[in-house]
Structure 1
């Protein structure tokens, strides 16, 4: 393959890993894809001028980094509800919506995790797209964020990062040290990544589905950590603990009784497409539910409610039909 088609093919092989990099930088699946597309267009237009003094991969990362840094100069830092407000007792709960640009977004694994042969490398990739980890990255200044991702996640050498950023190795090492110190102050909670071969995880998720679809609050409570959280972007409300989560689900959340859950994977962790009973029959999209698991129990439930964005992104059906038995 030669000419323009060959140039495109050479660039496209890096799309998934670049999207993962941009997602960690920006915290938005859609902004990450836009950044990578911008990167690809810039690279393709200047491919003939590429002098080969670095690899094509390094060159693309340099362009992608500049695109992300330009985007982050606007000052927006995406967050989770728990980054913005304190937990609210269910008796005082109010649904206050915030703009889309406020929120850290979910992402399908296939968009950001390239296939790699090394199990350790694959594990690091999954760990570092978890919601909690990407949320923690958003606390870092943009250049520190880039340094930490390139050094700690992608395992680049300090000299490579210095060349990419047009700075010195000493500056890179200093930025990395400051980034590590900042993360240590708000260290993301450890949670399990999705593992289809983990029988215990599979049993826990099966029990979760049975409890949620059956709206069995006693069974659901038994699966939750005592300090488990429930959040629902684009609302800034979040709840903590059995009593408030169950109180919400038996109050405002009662509309979810009779729902259906379809398993997916988001951000390296188990997730479900949540379909709500439709008055006209069947089930309609309601939320993308990302599940965080630690020590054999559910530690966090994040229900992303803007289904017009998430269900197409995850290639999910527009509705589910009712089963013959109802």
Structure 2
């Protein structure tokens, strides 16, 4: 099952005759990029798991009918896209707190999790093999913007802008006309342009340099661990936002963010231990909460930092130990 295929053509023939090991070898090199596509479509790594599993099952059942009119990669993206479109229709879109309500001016101390909401989740994208473009295409702002698009526009934009398929190829993949694809692309580009900053996080990180990015992450971690509000506020832009799905309230502007930070993570949370990590191609921090500095600290939140110039412009804290498991991080520290 895990052997590397030396002859994809032979494996295709074997797969079409019912050899599941040959099929596994065929799709193995494409699994990661297909999973990332499903995440961009659905906004959840767990939903992407389900979609990819379903898509590969559909592909396995249909492989005997694959006639080679397109590449196997294109065919698999067709199956995966259609699977995701079915899920988009049945499950709806994923959200961040700012999609649902205005920001809060002051810290909300009683803020129970809103479990009825399908929340956007983080993605473990930053591996040595991930290209610049792959990391850019899973940045939080981009994936969050995609969730505002109807499924067909979302799919068309991703297939064209991220994956490089032509409008004619996409029309075939989505069983529609080229004119419809071009129309969907035009509408999708307008909305995404309104919601996504002109400079991507990859461009910002490149401009700052890895050393400076690491310094910002370390300074944020230290300020939180030491309860130093002044040091924390010095890192933030004037229009910084802080959100914490599955909590519904969020904060916008340095004053509101600092009121929240001072009242909750800097005061009411006894002790923090933080680990630097990455998610969505962006710098992130795994936050562990403990009762005392010397006690065992347990997984609390994965905080993804969005940078602008030399400051932190957005803090998105995904609360829950399931996000640590997703990123391959320990549950205690």
Query: 1-side partners of 2:295 and 2:110: how far apart?
Result: 30
* Cα deviations by residue, 1:16-47 (Å, 9 ceiling, x for unpaired): 11111111111111001110111111112222
Query: 1-side partners of 2:289 and 2:91: how far apart?
Result: 36
SS at match of 1:90: coil
**1:262, distance to aligned residue in structure 2 (A):** 0.6
**Residue in 2 aligned with 1:313?**
326
Structure 1: give runs of 5+ residues left out of the alignment: 117-121, 321-326
**Residue in 1 aligned with 2:263?**
251
Query: 1-side partners of 2:99 and 2:200: how far apart?
Result: 18
| Partner of residue 126 from structure 1, selected from 131, 135, 141 | 135
* Cα deviations by residue, 1:176-225 (Å, 9 ceiling, x for unpaired): 11111222343447452366962221222222222222121111110001
Please state if 1:282 is matched with 2:296.
Answer: yes
TM-score under structure 1 length normalisation: 0.89
- Select between 168-177 and 86-95 the one with higher mean Cα deviation: 86-95
* Cα deviations by residue, 1:225-256 (Å, 9 ceiling, x for unpaired): 11111111101100122222222222233233
**Residue in 2 aligned with 1:24?**
40
**1:4, distance to aligned residue in structure 2 (A):** 2.5
Does the CA contact (< 8 Å) of 1:275 and 1:319 recur in 2? yes
- Select between 135-144 and 255-264 the one with higher mean Cα deviation: 255-264
Q: Give the 5 Å matches for 1:75-114.
A: 76-90=92-106, 94-99=110-115, 101-109=117-125
* Compared CA separation, residues 302 and 212, structure 1 to 2 (3 A): same
**Residue in 1 aligned with 2:312?**
298
Does the CA contact (< 8 Å) of 1:8 and 1:44 recur in 2? no
Structure 2: give runs of 5+ residues left out of the alignment: 6-10, 12-18
Query: 2-side partners of 1:75 and 1:284: how far apart?
Result: 31
**Residue in 2 aligned with 1:119?**
none
- Select between 208-217 and 245-254 the one with higher mean Cα deviation: 245-254
Measured on the aligned residues, the alpha-carbon RMSD in Å equals: 2.2
**Residue in 2 aligned with 1:265?**
278
Query: 1-side partners of 2:155 and 2:69: how far apart?
Result: 22
Q: Give the 5 Å matches for 1:195-214.
A: 198-214=210-226
